[in-house]
Structure formats: C-alpha cells, structure tokens
C-alpha cells in the first residue's frame, strides 16, 4: 500500500465513522470551497466558470495546499459554456455579463406559471422539455428550429462532456491526492424544487395561499423524482451522502404551520426513501432551522448528516446529537472578516463543546466563497488538527 492509499483509507474511515455517529481518530475536516478555490489557485472566476480544466485544477491545487479529509466539488457548479450553448436566461457569468472576478448571479423569476401546474403534475418530464426549456433557453425559444435543435444537441453533449471530465477528476482526487469525495449526487426538498427555479419565491408564497392543493399535489408528485435524481446523479453510490441544499424551509420563510403542511412531509419522504435504498442525505440546512429540530429528529437514526449554518448549535446537539452526525459551523463572516486567532478560538470552542463524543465534522457554516481569507482557512485547519484529536 502506498502512502497515498494509506492516507485515503485513513481519511475515509475518519469521515465514515463520524457520519455513523462514532468517534474516529480525529475530527474530520470537510470544507466545501467554491470560488475560494479559484482565488487560492490564482484563477479568475471567468476562467473557472468557462474552462473545465481550470475548474478542476483549482481543486487539485486546493488539495495540495490544504490538509482536508475529503475532496470538495469543483469551485464552479456551472459550466458557463454549456449555458451559452442553450442561451440560459437565469444565470449571469463572470467575463460575459459581469466583471471577470464577479460571482455568478441567479436571475429569479416565475419561469413556471400558475396555469402550468396541471401539466407539470401530469407529466413533469414532458412539461420541462415542451414548456419550461423554451422559456429559459433563448436558443430553444422556437422548438423545432435549426437553432433550437442545435441547442438541444450541444446542451446534452456538453453535459456528457462535463460529467466525464469531473468523473475523471474525482478519480485523480482519490488516487493522486488521497481524498474521498465529501458527497455523491444531489437532490432537493420537493418544495425547493418547486420554489427555487420553477415558481420562484414570490410565486410559491402566493401559491400556498391561492392554490394550496396544487402545491401539495406537485410536491407529492416530486418525491419519487427527487429520490431517483439523487440515486442517478450519485450513480448508485451509497457510501457517501447525497447533497441536499435546503432553502425555503429555513426559518422564517414559512411559518411553522406552513412548514408542517407544505415543506416537511415530502422532504421527510425523500430522505426516508433514500435511506431505504441505503443512501444518507447531507441535510445542508442553509440559514436557521432551530424551530424545526424536533421534527427533524423524527428521521431514522443516521439517515442524515445535519449541517449547521445559523441553527443554534447547542440545541442541535441536544436534540439531534448521538442519533445524527452534525457538521459545521465556522461562520463565513468570521472566515472573511475575522483574524486567524479568532478563527482558532472559535474552532477550539466548537470542538470542545460539540465534538467530544464523536459524530462531528468541522466545516464552515456555508459554502466558502472568494471573500474568505487564506490565513483564516489555514487557521481553521490547524485548530481542527490540534484540538480535534480523540484520545
């Protein structure tokens, strides 16, 4: 066994043990770096959005420089060239609509209209192709035309190319850099699928008042699709968790009664459905989920890693600790504006108070973007290595 293979196995065991609520040799370090990796590697944001090789190389350099236990995803989730090929309306990219070092911007709108609900519920896949894509892809606005057909060919080909390259990159991160993946596959809460890109925040908030039955029918229909999507995008892997970024369920987007009625039941079904297939969910709870911890505790033991951003960590530990691994929650504001000694102090306190009995993974509260200081990331890692050792 080479040193790299040995390190891979050590890190893998550390990560899996923590996710199973056990005590590994050390607190695992899992940093989800996005644009930070580009800055750290010396690339502009335009370069990582447009050039897949640089997007991947940014991770290579991050893994060379920083002692983390698992590989992050590529700093850009989007390949801008793919979006250009179809004329996607809802993202602005560095170097095209924005300065070369400006983070991408999402243009939210109600791309799905209220009168689409019935068609969407009846056959969502057909509705996406026949109604949704012509609205969000300028090149596809006249289906059947030369440009529309070309856009479909190029879009699908680009996706296959991108997946092939990132799949090969994951092999390199494992074999050359000795890092297992932090997650495989992704999916969403059904309410987020509906409320993020399709109806948008304004649309979904109106819908729960004006057409609640449609919202309930649509989210119910989405359960099996969202389970399938997680399994398909993880290519059937069940060793690592599926990433589930959670948005509209954060307090106080919905009041508790609305959360209980519209958000939680179908989210719970997706998580339980995945767990029945052996797939854990990385419950990436963006924002504050403190009011909902008791409901989240209804989930099967170990079925999620509960990620803490602005949720009350003490309460999360009290309600979920021992049955679910917790991860988080070094504040992104501290990483961006704090001093290294402040980061170290925060990490020491975090480990002392929440990691002692295992089942804990250290990470930032949210995805680490270009505003984080390199010295603060190093301070986080150094503190975790110094204080996060189990005797």
Partner 1 sequence: MSLGKDKKQNTVVPPGVCLPWEEKRPDFGEILGKEEIIKSEWENLDAFAYIYLWWWVQR
- Interface ranges with partner 1 (CB under 8 A): 88, 116, 119, 122-123, 125-136, 143, 155-156, 159-160, 186-188, 193, 196-198, 224-229, 232-233
Instruction: Please classify residue 247 by burial: count the beta carbons closer than 10 Å to its beta carbon, then call 0-12 exposed, 13-18 middle and 19+ buried.
Output: middle
Q: Which is nearer to partner 1, 44 or 187 (CB)?
A: 187
- Adjacency order of strands within the sheet including 325-330: 242-246, 281-285, 304-308, 325-330, 360-364
CB of 62 to partner 1, least distance (A): 23
CB of 163 to partner 1, least distance (A): 9
Q: Which is nearer to partner 1, 232 or 276 (CB)?
A: 232
Q: For residue 128, what are the contacts with CB-CB under 8 A and spacing of at least 6?
A: none
Q: Which is nearer to partner 1, 106 or 337 (CB)?
A: 106
H helix runs in 20-79, sequence order? 35-41, 45-50, 52-65
Q: Which is nearer to partner 1, 111 or 259 (CB)?
A: 111
State how far the Cα of 248 lies from the Cα of 193, in Å rounded to an integer: 10
Q: For residue 159, what are the contacts with CB-CB under 8 A and spacing of at least 6?
A: 82
Q: Which is nearer to partner 1, 211 or 225 (CB)?
A: 225
CB of 270 to partner 1, least distance (A): 12
Q: Which is nearer to partner 1, 2 or 125 (CB)?
A: 125
Determine what percent of the chain falls in helix, strand and coil, rounding each to the nearest 5.
55, 10, 35
CB of 239 to partner 1, least distance (A): 21
* 3-state SS assignment for residue 42: coil
Q: Are the C-beta atoms of 243 and 284 separated by less than 8 Å? A: yes
Q: Which is nearer to partner 1, 113 or 168 (CB)?
A: 113
Chain CA centroid to CA 345, Å: 27
Using CA atoms, how far residue 77 sits from 56, 121, 352, in Å, is 11, 28, 34
Q: Which is nearer to partner 1, 13 or 225 (CB)?
A: 225
State how far the Cα of 61 lies from the Cα of 57, in Å rounded to an integer: 6
CB of 242 to partner 1, least distance (A): 11
CB of 119 to partner 1, least distance (A): 7
Q: Are strands 281-285 and 91-92 parallel, antiparallel or unpaired?
A: unpaired
CB of 130 to partner 1, least distance (A): 4
Q: Are the C-beta atoms of 53 and 163 separated by less than 8 Å? A: no
CB of 332 to partner 1, least distance (A): 21
Q: Which is nearer to partner 1, 78 or 177 (CB)?
A: 78
- Two structure tokens written together for 131: 């109604």
CB of 132 to partner 1, least distance (A): 7
SS (H, E, C) 328-381: EEECHHHHHHCCHHHHHHHHHHHHHHHCCCCCEEEEECCCECCCCCHHHHHHHH
């Amino acid at each position: 066994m080479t040193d790299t293979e040995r390190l891979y196995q050590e890190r893998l065991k550390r990560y899996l043990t923590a996710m199973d609520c056990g005590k590994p040799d050390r607190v695992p370090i899992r940093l989800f770096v996005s644009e930070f990796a580009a800055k750290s590697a010396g690339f502009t944001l335009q370069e990582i959005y447009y050039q897949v090789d640089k997007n991947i190389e940014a991770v290579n350099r991050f893994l060379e420089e920083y002692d983390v236990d698992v590989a992050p995803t590529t700093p850009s989730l989007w390949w801008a060239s793919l979006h250009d090929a179809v004329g996607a309306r809802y993202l602005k990219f560095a170097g095209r609509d924005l300065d070369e070092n400006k983070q991408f911007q999402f243009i939210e709108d109600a791309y799905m209209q209220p009168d689409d609900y019935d068609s969407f519920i009846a056959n969502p896949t057909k509705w996406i192709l026949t109604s949704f894509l012509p609205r969000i892809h300028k090149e596809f606005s006249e289906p059947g035309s030369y440009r529309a057909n070309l856009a479909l060919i190029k879009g699908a080909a680009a996706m296959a190319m991108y997946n092939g390259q990132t799949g090969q990159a994951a092999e390199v991160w494992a074999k050359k850099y000795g890092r297992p993946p932090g997650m495989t596959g992704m999916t969403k809460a059904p309410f987020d699928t509906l409320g993020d890109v399709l109806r948008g925040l304004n649309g979904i908030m109106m819908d729960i008042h004006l057409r609640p039955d449609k919202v309930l029918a649509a989210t119910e229909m989405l359960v099996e699709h969202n389970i399938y999507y997680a399994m398909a995008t993880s290519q059937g892997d069940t060793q690592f968790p599926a990433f589930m970024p959670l948005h509209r369920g954060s307090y106080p987007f919905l009041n508790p009664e609305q959360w209980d009625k519209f958000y939680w039941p179908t989210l719970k079904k997706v998580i339980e459905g995945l767990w029945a297939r052996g797939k854990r969910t990385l419950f990436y709870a963006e924002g504050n989920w403190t009011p909902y911890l008791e409901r989240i505790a209804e989930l099967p033991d170990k079925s999620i890693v509960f990620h803490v951003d602005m949720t009350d960590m003490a309460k999360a530990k009290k309600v979920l600790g021992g049955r679910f691994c917790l991860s988080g929650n070094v504040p992104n504001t501290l990483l961006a504006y704090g001093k290294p000694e402040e980061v170290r102090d925060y990490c020491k306190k975090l480990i002392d108070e929440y990691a002692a009995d295992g089942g804990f993974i250290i990470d930032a509260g949210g995805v680490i973007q270009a505003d984080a200081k390199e010295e603060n990331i190093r301070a986080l890692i150094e503190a975790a290595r110094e204080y996060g050792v189990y005797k």
